[in-house]
Amino acid sequence: MTSASEQDPAPTRSKGLLWSVLLLVLAGAGALWGASGLTWMSQPFRTPIGTETVSAATGAEARPELVPMALAALAAVAAVLATGGLLRRLVGVLIALAGALLVWRAFQQFTGGGSDLDVPAGSVPAGELSTSPFGPLLMVLGALLLVIAGVLVVVRAGRMPAMGARYAAPGAAKERVSQDPDRRLWNELDAGRDPTDEDDR
């Protein structure tokens, strides 16, 4: 007759899976940060005094949420490490939702919902508006990485070790050692007691 523990073995913890998720989140944060610094659009303008200037918008200006989302993703790395169980799954849900929101915002950018350029007062356009796809595409990449990482955390949270488990382990380890007859024998000898004497124990 098999016991309940034999019928339902505990899932093995995978440090590789945990580090893969953390790298995905870090890569997503890096992609968002990089997208915020790239020039997304530019257009030449002629000022009232006849000079020509170029007005440009970076990702941080076109999508102000990029930098805060990148910082939030960095904070999520620590949250995934420090939490476990249901709380870790909740963190995964938040990461996936943040990524999905960024995908939607990038879609708005591609469909013409971006911010207006900062045009000098009294200036008139001197050329066509030019846009660069690299910033928005980098934003999409970062957002998708966050979605994948969040889904992995939600689905596989039980297989990822928690950092807090390292600090909780010594007590459990001591209990296991105390139940080990061979180890207990050596502990008794180290303490100067006769392991065969019930009175000493």
Neighbouring CB atoms inside 10 A of 60's CB total: 19
Question: Model confidence over 72-95: pLDDT tens digits?
Answer: 999 999 999 888 889 999 999 999
**Sequence ranges of the domains in the chain:** 12-161, 163-201
Task: Domain 12-161: give its CATH code.
Answer: 1.20.140
How far apart CA 6 and CA 14 sit, in angstroms, is: 20
Based on C-alpha coordinates, what's the Rg of the chain?
Answer: 28
Q: What is the DSSP string of 78-107?
A: HHHHH--HHHHHHHHHHHHHHHHHHHHHHH
Mean pLDDT, residues 15-23 taken together: 89
- Determine contact, residues 33/60, Cβ cutoff 8 Å: no
SS3 (DSSP) at 168: helix
How far apart CA 174 and CA 128 sit, in angstroms, is: 73
Q: Which amino acid is at 16?
A: G
Give strand pairing partners of 43: 55
SS3 content of the chain, % helix, strand, coil (to 5): 65, 10, 25
Q: Greater confidence, 51 or 21?
A: 21
SS3 (DSSP) at 45: strand
Mean pLDDT of the chain: 78
Give 34's contacts (C-beta < 8 A, 6+ positions apart).
138, 142
Note the pLDDT of residue 54: 79
How far apart CA 52 and CA 120 sit, in angstroms, is: 11
Indicate the pTM of the whole model: 0.70
Q: Is the pLDDT of residue 198 over 80?
A: no
How far apart CA 170 and CA 186 sit, in angstroms, is: 19
